[in-house]
Amino acid sequence: MTGLPCAGKTTIAKMLQKFIPDLALLDGDELRKWLPTKNDFSRVGRSEHNKAVAHIAKLLTEHKVSVCVSLVSPYKENRDDARVIIGEGCRFIELYVKCSVTICETRDVKGMYKRAKNGEIKQFTGVDDVYEVPSKPSMIIDTEKTALQHAIGCILQFLDDSDCVSPRTLGHKIVE
């Protein structure tokens, strides 16, 4: 999943874990605490961080673990690199979590957007660094217009239709 900070990526990912047993969640904020690039938000630092996360996802999928990656991943080149590292087909699905900066700001409980606008956070995606919207994502979830339960139902249906996960592997009934 890719999208602006506070677009709803982690919320969606955590809800998906309730429906897909043993789904591993690789969340950008959580991984930043542990990976060497944790404080490097430069373009190079972000690229290195995203490549490291993609390699972790690949290792998990090679061991038959379903993985959901929740990263801002602001640059097209980052997502292209991940696609190459992880592989195509069911192994890599690009889900764009769409949301305007205005709405993301209202959801920002950590105050990151405000601090970025005040110059306290540099290179913050959506404020003083670009977010390159995916041109051909596998799926788009617009969190401004789509309720969480409906979004989850759409994602699960997409995964089922793509033969990436079957209804029998789902922990709960698909919601609409």
Residues with catalytic roles: 73
Amino acid at 136: K
Alpha-carbon distance of 67 to 71, in angstroms, equals 13
| Residues 138/155, Cβ–Cβ less than 8 Å | no
3 state DSSP class of 156: helix
Residues 6+ apart with CB under 8 A from 79: 2, 73, 94, 134
| Residues 23/66, Cβ–Cβ less than 8 Å | yes
Alpha-carbon distance of 102 to 168, in angstroms, equals 39
Cα–Cα–Cα angle for 85, 101, 7, nearest 5°?
A: 50
